[in-house]
A and B are shown apart, each in its own frame.
Chain A
Amino acid sequence: METKLLTGNQALALGALHAGVRVVTGYPGTPSTEALACLLALEPEGVYVEWSTNEKVALEIAAGASWAGQRALCTMKMSGLNVAYDSLISIAYSGCIGGLVVYVADDPGVHAGMAEQDSRGFALMSDLPMLDPASVEEAYRLMRSAFELSERVGSPVFVRLVGAVAHSQAPVEVEEPAPIPRRKARLVRDIARFTKAGSAICTAQHRDLLARLEKAARVIGEMGLNRLQLASKTGGLGIVASGVTASYLEEGFEIAARFGFERGAVSVLWITAVNPFPTDEVRALLRHSSTILVLEELEPYIEKGICVEARRMGFTGRIVGKLDGPFERVGEYGVEQVVRGIGAALSLPIPDDLFQGSEAAESLAAERPITFCAGCPHRGTFMAINRAIRKAGYKKNEVVVTGDIGCTILGMNPPFHTAWTEVSMGASVGLAQGFVHGGAETPVIATIGDSTFFHAGIPGLINAVQHQVPLTLVILDNGWTSMTGMQVNPGTDETFQRPGDRRVDIAELIPALGVERFFIIDPFDLDEAAATIQKALELPGVKVVLSRQECAIQAMRRGIRAGKVRVIPENCNLCKLCITHTGCPAIGIDEDTIVIDPALCYGCGLCAQVCNREAIERVGESASQRVSESAIERGSEGARE
């Protein structure tokens, strides 16, 4: 036994490893990314780990491994579950052989962008068991339970973490088990189970699925995953807490005690297995209590389940939660909800301002919209798009530019204000076609990053080619899945692919998809890039512009810079054109000249290209000559400092 300081993601990954997982797949997405990333870095012997092209592919791989008898783990953020869900429902109908655990990370409070989706709803819809660990330590411990449950029931099992648990670090007692022998693959051909041909097969599978969920309830009971503690006297308050909310209970009890709360008088049900519904425990709690307080973040799934049981049992007491109570379906829960809930349920005099800090202070804070890193190639691409729109004779608000997921979406922020939409992976391509059919009379542009294009952009492009929809797709290819912390994707340079893996080059893919008007630009060569995009805007049909330079952060980590620039203070009149056009964080303002922070500057040369007083000079060869068409292709041969 050893105590380690781990994040929730690391704890979950280590738990899977110690449970004998053999195949791990996933697609990066905050707050889930680190779980797979840490296993990839660990390179555990006998375990296959990969970043897949998207979550659906990842899940299919994990399911295949499970059907061959191995324990498999598939990781994703909640948006990824939407992508994987088509396969997931079918896999749920078929069940599994080796333990199959699907890790999904939700983001209540939306710290990473996208939706406050409550993935517990997906467990309900697919009739799959789901565990919802309350803490980092539980994330480790419950992985073994999840695999055991999965194999005992023959069903895939969800493990869900919220971002606050996934990203938290806490000490965990880790116990490395004796090495688990590798299972020989067991190949079972059983079309009644693994195909969906015909109503007889599917309805039988549906029955099996429901039977497995029922069995899961029994096994969860035996494993003691949910915990019920009844007060010595009946008729008091019963508290139901699930997932992370349970971790705030003790603190809440201490605070509530100052206002007359008696810990000994309440019964508590800690729900770790949120699906199937813990009917027995809930019924026991309802029989014992006069009032129920339900603490669950986001959707009132458990609360509704309790209402159903209450009605079936003729329970007439109050159920305090979101339906009939003080709580919202938006945002994270904390100790405040515990204390307020207790206050509401027991009519305790909790002061209104107990957790009410001053909002005034925050309103004085400056807004800090995030922008591209210094030297980011996307900066050049969005500057070029803006210039191309202007030169083609349009105003910025006349040309629809759909955006997509990842770093590229920062093109919506100042100083670019270019992207109009952000929907889901790959959606920029489909949306753009919709704007065309919707009657846009000006050119329509879609923007997408490389990994996002591989993930779900390709079908959209094929659709545009087949139906010959006039649009310009700009693919911003920086060679990495950057927003989530620099993962390798199919287009990453061969040098960084795993030994034995190979690169899939977007430049070869596009013509093969039937795109006839295909251009490659260097985003650090503003004139050329803008002229090419302008030309594309003026041509008919489907145009694809591939904008290529490696992610500056990754290049700088290897000591590479695109070039070097120098400020000539005598020439600068502080017109600030460089700042208003690039928004580059490396540029600051001094007394009577701009200054460039040499530690941040990547030497992309974009600022020098917009300055019209020759106050910023490129030192040595120009960046666009030194980092040719594709720095990615040249890998580590790029210009070195």
Chain B
Amino acid sequence: MSLTSRITHHASRFTHHTSRFTFDILLVGVGGQGVLSIGEIVAEAACRRSIPVNLYPIKGMAQRGGFVKAQVRLGREVTGPNIPQKGADLVIAMERSEALKAVRFVRPGGDFVLFDHVWVPMAVMLGKADYPTPEQVSEQIQEAGGRMHYLAPESLPLYKGVPVPANIFVLGAAVGHTRLADVLSPSDIVQIVQTKWTRSTERNVFAFQAGLEASIQEP
């Protein structure tokens, strides 16, 4: 039985889960992009629906601009923190080059949301090292069997003239365009966003909603 049918067999999608389903999410990006916040929102949204959850963030040496990764595993009462290779139902990558490090984890047929932000390391800036092209990344994702959902950084909408937080926008896009929608409820996420950031609530809710409706492009 495929994953989708396992999930949709639930009579009511967002009520207490009595039968079993699982959903594994891998988040990658660089420090300062709010990757871990996405994980925290998803974990909390799962908690609200009494879905078992384990969120495992890896920050390494938490310097700004370093590789950041978080794994969210939903639906298992007892679960190990790490998602195996070819095991993620959904990958959300916030940075083009770091997306490549997530490719081996996507389940064939799984969703892969790529926010094509570019954060070049110094060596690349100085012309001493190569940087992957969007085509290279999308080719790798497709080769791994991932269903790519591409978001250009330019698609980030403005709120009162200022770009909205990319992480909330991308989370919105993931809920709007992938099977994450079968697991989490958008209204829960809106509520969590509202309580998490009491100061820029409207901006964040706007970002999430814009993400939900964002059109997925070709790279």
Please report A residues at the B interface, Cβ cutoff 8 Å: 3, 5, 111-113, 135-136, 164-165, 167-171, 244-245, 247-251, 332, 334-336, 354-362, 364-374, 410, 414-415, 483, 485, 576, 579-580, 583, 585, 588-589, 600
Residues of chain B within 8 A of A135, CB atoms compared: 54, 78
Q: Do residues B81 and A168 form an inter-chain contact, with CB atoms below 8 A?
A: yes
Would you list which residues of chain B between 171 and 208 have a CB under 8 Å from chain A? none
Q: Which single residue of chain A is at the shortest CB-CB distance from B122?
A: A583
Q: Do residues A368 and B56 form an inter-chain contact, with CB atoms below 8 A?
A: no
Please report B residues at the A interface, Cβ cutoff 8 Å: 30, 40, 43-44, 47, 52-58, 60-67, 76-82, 84-87, 97-98, 100-101, 103-106, 120-126, 129-132, 136-137, 140-141, 143-144
Report the bound CA distance from A370 to B59 in whole Å: 12
Residues of chain A within 8 A of B86, CB atoms compared: 354-357
Known A-B contacts A366-B131, A369-B121; A334 and B80 likewise in contact (beta carbons under 8 Å): yes
Residues of chain A within 8 A of B103, CB atoms compared: 357-358, 361-362
Q: Do residues A367 and B143 form an inter-chain contact, with CB atoms below 8 A?
A: no
Q: Do residues B132 and A5 form an inter-chain contact, with CB atoms below 8 A?
A: no
What are 20 A-to-B residue pairs whose CB atoms are below 8 Å? A112-B61, A135-B54, A164-B80, A250-B78, A355-B86, A357-B86, A357-B106, A361-B137, A361-B144, A364-B136, A365-B100, A367-B129, A368-B97, A368-B98, A370-B61, A371-B65, A485-B62, A576-B125, A576-B126, A588-B125
Known A-B contacts A362-B103, A365-B98, A579-B122; A334 and B84 likewise in contact (beta carbons under 8 Å): yes
Residues of chain A within 8 A of B122, CB atoms compared: 371, 414-415, 579, 583
Report the bound CA distance from A202 to B66 in whole Å: 50
Q: Do residues A370 and B65 form an inter-chain contact, with CB atoms below 8 A?
A: yes
Residues of chain B within 8 A of A171, CB atoms compared: 47, 52-53
Q: Do residues B66 and A373 form an inter-chain contact, with CB atoms below 8 A?
A: no
Report the bound CA distance from A360 to B120 in whole Å: 20
Q: Do residues B80 and A247 form an inter-chain contact, with CB atoms below 8 A?
A: yes
Q: Which single residue of chain B is at the shortest CB-CB distance from A589?
A: B125
Known A-B contacts A247-B80, A335-B84; A367 and B121 likewise in contact (beta carbons under 8 Å): yes
9 pairs of A and B residues whose beta carbons are closest in the complex: A357-B104, A361-B103, A248-B80, A357-B85, A361-B140, A365-B100, A164-B81, A247-B80, A169-B55
Report the bound CA distance from A251 to B58 in whole Å: 22
Report the bound CA distance from A245 to B84 in whole Å: 13
Report the bound CA distance from A371 to B66 in whole Å: 8
Known A-B contacts A3-B47, A244-B80, A365-B100; A167 and B53 likewise in contact (beta carbons under 8 Å): no
Residues of chain A within 8 A of B132, CB atoms compared: 364-366
Report the bound CA distance from A135 to B52 in whole Å: 13
Q: Do residues A370 and B58 form an inter-chain contact, with CB atoms below 8 A?
A: no
Report the bound CA distance from A585 to B87 in whole Å: 34
Residues of chain B within 8 A of A168, CB atoms compared: 54-56, 81
Q: For the complex formed, measure the closest distance between the CB of B135 and the CB atoms of chain A, giving whole angstroms.
A: 11
Report the bound CA distance from A5 to B84 in whole Å: 24
Residues of chain A within 8 A of B56, CB atoms compared: 164, 167-169
Residues of chain B within 8 A of A335, CB atoms compared: 80, 82, 84, 87
Contact of B58 among A111, A244, A410, A483 (CB under 8 A): A111
Known A-B contacts A247-B78, A357-B85, A579-B122; A170 and B61 likewise in contact (beta carbons under 8 Å): no
Contact of B121 among A113, A245, A248, A368 (CB under 8 A): A368
New A-B contacts (18) at CB < 8 Å, excluding given A170-B53, A359-B104, A362-B101 = A111-B60, A165-B81, A169-B54, A170-B52, A171-B52, A244-B81, A355-B87, A357-B104, A361-B103, A365-B100, A365-B132, A366-B124, A368-B65, A370-B60, A410-B63, A576-B125, A579-B126, A583-B122
Q: Which interface residue of B63, B103, B104 has the most chain A CB atoms within 10 A?
A: B63
Residues of chain B within 8 A of A589, CB atoms compared: 125
Contact of B85 among A169, A251, A356, A485 (CB under 8 A): A356
Residues of chain A within 8 A of B81, CB atoms compared: 164-165, 168, 244, 247
Q: For the complex formed, measure the closest distance between the CB of A22 and the CB atoms of chain B, giving whole angstroms.
A: 31
Residues of chain A within 8 A of B67, CB atoms compared: 368
Report the bound CA distance from A409 to B16 in whole Å: 49
Report the bound CA distance from A410 to B61 in whole Å: 10
Q: For the complex formed, measure the closest distance between the CB of A296 and the CB atoms of chain B, giving whole angstroms.
A: 14
Q: Which interface residue of A169, A332, A356, A585 has the most chain B CB atoms within 10 A?
A: A169
Report the bound CA distance from A335 to B24 in whole Å: 13
Residues of chain B within 8 A of A355, CB atoms compared: 84-87
Q: For the complex formed, measure the closest distance between the CB of A606 and the CB atoms of chain B, giving whole angstroms.
A: 15
Contact of B64 among A249, A332, A374, A414 (CB under 8 A): A374
Q: Do residues A5 and B44 form an inter-chain contact, with CB atoms below 8 A?
A: yes
Report the bound CA distance from A48 to B218 in whole Å: 58
Report the bound CA distance from A521 to B121 in whole Å: 30
Report the bound CA distance from A5 to B55 in whole Å: 10
Q: Which single residue of chain B is at the shortest CB-CB distance from A3?
A: B47
Q: Do residues A247 and B79 form an inter-chain contact, with CB atoms below 8 A?
A: yes
Contact of A170 among B54, B121, B141 (CB under 8 A): B54
Report the bound CA distance from A165 to B125 in whole Å: 37
Known A-B contacts A357-B104, A367-B123; A164 and B82 likewise in contact (beta carbons under 8 Å): yes
Report the bound CA distance from A600 to B119 in whole Å: 14
Known A-B contacts A362-B101, A366-B97; A170 and B55 likewise in contact (beta carbons under 8 Å): yes
